[in-house]
Structure 1
Amino acid sequence: MTATPPGVLGPAARDAALAALAGTAEPGAGDLDVLVVGGGVVGAGVALDAVTRGLTTALVEQRDLASGTSSRSSKLVHGGPRYLEMLDVALVREALEERGLLLTRLAPHLVRPVPFLYPLTRTWERPYVGAGLALYDTMAALGRYDMGVPRHRHLFRRQVARIAPDLRTEDLTGAIRYHDAQVDDARLVTTIARTAARHGAHVATRTKVTGFLREGERVVGVRARDLETGTDLEVRARVVVNAAGVWTDEIQEMVGGRGALHVKASKGIHLVVPRDRIRSEAGFITRTEKSVLFVIPWGRHWIIGTTDTAWDLDKAHPAASKADIDYVLAHVNTLLREPLDHADVEGVYAGLRPLLSGESEPTSKISREHTVVAPVPGLVMIAGGKLTTYRVMAKDAVDAAAPSLSDAGGVRGSITDRVPLLGADGFETRSNQRVMLARRSGLHVARIDHLLGRYGALVDDLLALVAARPELAAPVPGAEDYLAAEAVYAVTHEGARHLDDVLARRTRISVETFDRGTAAARPVAELMAAQLGWSAARTDEEVDHYLRRVEAERQSQQKPTDQEADEARVQVRDLV
């Protein structure tokens, strides 16, 4: 049998990872150095940090990569201007350095600059906001890495009207244009996990931790279950790092409530609308009474959000209520000449921010800084933080694990600031060759650009797949922005196991089409079936589950309260 190439997360790689994990419980097999629990951006980052320090590493995730918070963010890589107002200067400086690092070195194929307008309605706002954004740019410019984006510019009302014809300018004194960056968050997580696997980490999704192995007070591993086969296994590790985000409290309960972290879940919802509904060359940012409202360019769409409300209901599938949607629409419409309504909304998604909490303050006031604790020997827990600073969080978690690993001759320092993610090396060359690649493949240059923006230099993999199977050059029916080859590649290289994985995370079909991906469900399922060996009955089950999921989400979005929305959404649980 041919070995799976490093960095490929196909079915064979998952089987090999589970076999390696099970093997740690055998006499004389040797423990893992680090076992990471949680396949979001922080968990994937911890796995990459640990394995590139020379530590034997594995990651387990009970659902899919990025299936929680890390696929439902605002998709921004930013310092967060509002955190300057909260005086979180250190957090903003750190995040801006990470933004520059991702833009220019680690993931230039995935992270790209995005322009924003900050509308000004009062005369005093210009010096106040301008000073804040000047400080924002200065911190970025003085950081250890390249800034990666242009500096801010002051605009008068007439300039704003040219850039954003659909923005209401009558009441504006002008605007300030500044840049941050954006990323497809789920794609970033998948790429980090693949990079960790490329360097030797074992990655096993659909693998749930059910308890901890103990020797006295010390944690020496976990009990886990392969949710696809029902097989139980014991995995021994010298250190377990919990990166479960909003599930942190549940993991703490498995060690008898021993922990110093309390994570409060804050729900943020986002709307996706077609790009032609708002004529503008830049996004917008404005403050609301509860949070910040972003209108973010997203390919042929806009992402509009967010809310910031406490959530204590189902964590796997937080639901957006009609009240949430109305709130976002009402606030964005204060900016627009032509108001948006529910008929303009292509997609809706809701995510939970894992905020550290020890007090009764509202979630919108809680800092996004992270904390690492070691409540018992052999266990490290990390929580809080934000997408942009995942690499720093990962470094801190592995640093906290290092004392438990020092008897092996010491743990080397983190090098992830010098480890480009898969697809980064060669990206600039392939971008320069876009016309040549289009001619060779028979694809339009716009298709090549789309693939470059999602896979970077790994575009070669996709083009090889199309060359071997020309029928995969066809667009996905009902979701023409994506090629059939991308659905196949999601299974063979990116760890997709279920239809949801492809439609909601490896692609964004579930929120970028008015039918929420229902027309694409059957064609994509049939492409997946050929790779995963699904029977006709299993394929039907996957399609039926997805259609019921979409209907449950639509029903939840008609409910007036969180409680009613949650009750509607949880009617359809995950397939295992």
Structure 2
Amino acid sequence: MNNLVYFSNKRKFEGTYMSATHTPNPRAEDGALNKKRRQADLDRLRDGAAKGELPDLLVIGAGITGVGIALDAASRGLDTVLIDAHDLAFGTSRWSSKLAHGGLRYLATGNVGIARRSAVERGTLLDVTAPHLVHKLPQVVPVMNVFAPLTRILPRMGFLAGDFLRIIAGTSATTLPLSRTVGKQRVAELSPTVRKKDVQFGYVNYDGQLRDDARLVTAIARTAASYGATVLTKVRCENATGTGATLVDELSGEKFELPARTVVNATGVWAGDVDSSIKVRPSRGTHLVLDAAKLGNPTGSLTVPVPGYTNRFCFVLPAEHNRVYIGLTDESAPGPIPDVPEVPEEDITFLLDVINQALETPLTREDVNGAFAGLRPLIDSGEGNTADLSREHALLEADNGLISITGGKLTEYRLMAEQTVDKVISKLGITAPECLTRRIPVLGSDRRGMDRARTAAEAGRIPMALFNRYGAESQEVIDSCPLERPLDPVAEGIDVTRAEFAWHVTHEGALSVDDILDRRTRIGLVAADREAALPAAEEALKLA
């Protein structure tokens, strides 16, 4: 067909041809997810199944990998359905360190492949995919008398290797400046509570940081919907095979069979529940939540070596809502996999002990306002500590034709999706464009719209915190709000507006207060903040 493809996605592209070099612009109105659209999509799927109509692809799991697959497939013209038993970013994808890593740790262990791929994908996130949600973050490693001699040298060597990766990945120094050695004063500026008398000098490196990982997942899901994908939360699958599954609407309890031309299992750490032949070895990564003022409102990430290791570090990471996160652990988490992992007290003690090595005034247990843990879906090799297991992803096909993708890193989600959709297209034996997602900005990230919104934010017409979360869509978030006092905070001292809560319900598919407080925002990580914002969330939910 000479690189031309007929788009089978009936909802948007029927009757059109599109070359593999052209990328259509996603439209915000096509990407609006809400309760009304959800019901209409369920009715359409149920009626279509009764008539023998098959979607090209059913994706199970709406974490970062699943939404990435949905966007890739829909943008190539596949009639795509994405489901999740709970919500967008319900699982591991909301419990990360919120970093778009360049892969330095993997370079240190000799895994050049992951390191290079991570650097390339990080650059894509920063420059194209989600520049309003991913920004550069200075990471400061203080060189202190209390650290072992080797840990004073290795970070600099690693940062120089990271500079090389950045160059070969094609990421400009404007996007991510090169690393450098800095004096004691600069260390203190980036991390004001560091123990200054022991600091000799420091190293500063730049990496990518997400505003929030769940917000990235939500933006990608909406962008997939704008390309015609059907995105359904609170829809559970049973008895999945390579040719379909039983779907259960968790709101109504109704079941129906959905045949599909192919099915992908993207459930991450729960992959073995969908395909019993897959063995995943979960690794627990814990983070603490503290008031940013406790650490002097840092603007950089303080990086402290874990005693006894040459390539393990804990971090103090600036976060939204005047908070910092302290992380992270890497501990084996055998046994049944919970929906929401608990944080053991020993993880909290470990993180405080590591970080306190570098602080003027040690943090105590009372300083911790909240904590969260995520389970990494590592491929089980049967030996070694989880910290030593490969972060490679695996693309597998079961005897019944079910395709599974698991393992890997958040930063590489786009590449994992590309490889998965390539396999789907090959299996279906159809002609489709090559992957387009390296050139597709998610909703909110188009440059002209971002420039206009940034100008409005700098002039005080839009709250800067709102611009940082919604980019080019900032004004629309405010203008579309049906609630009174749209720019009022949802609770005193919380930099989230009532307009944002309304947007979560009318455009981002929130169906419960948990969806609003625990995933569309991270207000729920601190119990007192959650209680304060609950009435506003309940009011917004009435818009559904």
**Residue of 185, 192, 212 corresponding to 2:213:** 185
Which amino acid in 1 is paired with 2:479? A
In proportion to residue count, which structure has more helix? 1
The residue aligned with 1:286 is 304
Give distance in 2, aligned partners of 1:397 and 1:484: 39
The Cα of 1:430 is off from its aligned counterpart by 2.2
Distance in 2 separating the partners of 1:366 and 1:465: 47
Of 203, 227, 243, which aligns to 1:199? 227
**Cα 1:177/1:472, change in 2 over 3 Å:** same
Pairing of 1:40-439 with structure 2 (within 5 A):
40-121=63-144, 125=151, 127-146=153-172, 148-183=175-210, 184-212=212-240, 219-253=242-276, 259=277, 261-279=278-296, 280-288=298-306, 289=308, 291-299=312-320, 300-311=322-333, 312-376=335-399, 378-406=401-429, 408=430, 410-425=431-446, 426-435=448-457, 438-439=460-461
Contact 2:68/2:413 (8 A) holds in 1:
yes
Letter in 1 for 2:218: T
Residue pair 1:114, 1:297 contacting (<8 A) in 2 also: no
Contact 1:270 1:305 in 2 (8 A): yes
Q: 1:431, CA displacement in angstroms? A: 3.9
CA distance in structure 2 between the partners assigned to 1:6 and 1:372 by the alignment: 31
Letter in 2 for 1:264: R
Corresponding residue of 2:3? none
1:220-275 CA-partner distances (Å, limit 9, x unpaired): 1111100110010111111101100010111113xxxxx4x321111111111111
1:277 alignment partner, SS class: helix
Residue in 1 that maps onto 2:535 = 522
Q: Deviations over 1:345-390 (max 9, x none)?
A: 2221111111111222111111211110112353211000111110
Deviations 1:459-506 (A, max 9, x none): 12212135x544222111255211111111111110111111111111
Aligned to 2:25: none
Note if contact 1:69-1:352 (Cα within 8 Å) is conserved in structure 2.
yes
Q: Distance in 1 between matches of 2:493 and 2:51?
A: 51
In structure 1, what is the equivalent of residue 479 of structure 2? Answer: 464
Percent identity for Structure 1 against Structure 2: 36
SS in 2 for 1:316: coil
Which whole-Å CA distance do the structure 2 matches of 1:403 and 1:209 have between them? 25
Q: 1:7 aligns with which of 3, 7, 31?
A: 31
- Residue deviations 1:90-111 (CA, integer Å, cap 9, x gap): 1011111111111111111111
Cα separation, 1, equivalents of 2:254 and 2:183: 64
Distance 1:349 1:246 in 2: 16
Shift of 1:28: 4.1
Counterpart check, 1:509 vs 2:523:
yes
Query: Normalization by structure 1: what TM-score?
Result: 0.84
| More displaced stretch, 426-435 vs 341-350 | 426-435
Q: What amino acid does structure 2 have at the position aligned with 1:79?
A: G
- Structure 2 counterpart of 1:531: 543
The verdict on how the C-alpha distance between 1:508 and 1:413 changes in structure 2, with shifts beyond 3 A counting, is same
Where does the alignment leave 5 or more consecutive residues of structure 1 unmatched? 214-218, 254-258, 440-444, 533-576
- Cα distance in 2 for partners of 1:52, 1:499 equals 31
Distance 1:514 1:58, change over 3 A: closer
Which residue in 2 is equivalent to 1:454? 469
SS at match of 2:30: coil
CA shift, 1:522, in A, is 2.5
What is the TM-score of this pair, normalised by structure 2? 0.89
SS at match of 2:537: helix
Kindly provide the amino acid, as one letter, of the partner of residue 190 in structure 1: T
Post-superposition offset of 1:335:
1.2
Structure 1 residue 306: Cα displacement: 0.8
Aligned pair count reads 506
1:492 aligns with 2:518: no
Report the Cα offset of residue 286 of structure 1: 2.2
Provide the C-alpha distance between the structure 1 equivalents of 2:258 and 2:527, rounded to a whole number of angstroms. 44
Q: Which amino acid aligns with 2:158?
A: G
Aligned residue for 1:473, secondary structure, equals coil
Does the C-alpha gap of structure 1 residues 391 and 163 become closer, same or farther in structure 2, counting only changes over 3 Å? Answer: closer
Opposite residue 102 of structure 2, the aligned amino acid is G
Question: Structure 1, residues 43-78: CA drift from partner, whole Å, max 9, x if none?
Answer: 000000111111110101000100100011111011
| Structure 2 CA distance for partners of 1:307 and 1:180, relative to 1, 3 Å | same
Indicate the SS of the match to 2:304: strand
In structure 1, C-alpha distance between the alignment counterparts of 2:382 and 2:184, rounded to whole Å? 43
Give the letter aligned to residue 309 of structure 1.
E
Counterpart check, 1:27 vs 2:40: no
Secondary structure, aligned partner of 1:517: helix
Instruction: List per-residue Cα deviations over 1:322-354 (Å, max 9, x = no partner).
Output: 222111112111111111112222221111111
Distance 1:227 1:162, change over 3 A: closer
d(CA) in 1 for partners of 2:283 and 2:201?
Answer: 33
Which residue of structure 2 lines up, in the alignment, with residue 482 of structure 1?
496
Distance 1:103 1:241, change over 3 A: same
Partner of 1:538: none
- For structure 1, which segment, 453-462 or 374-383, has the greater mean C-alpha deviation from structure 2 after superposition? 374-383
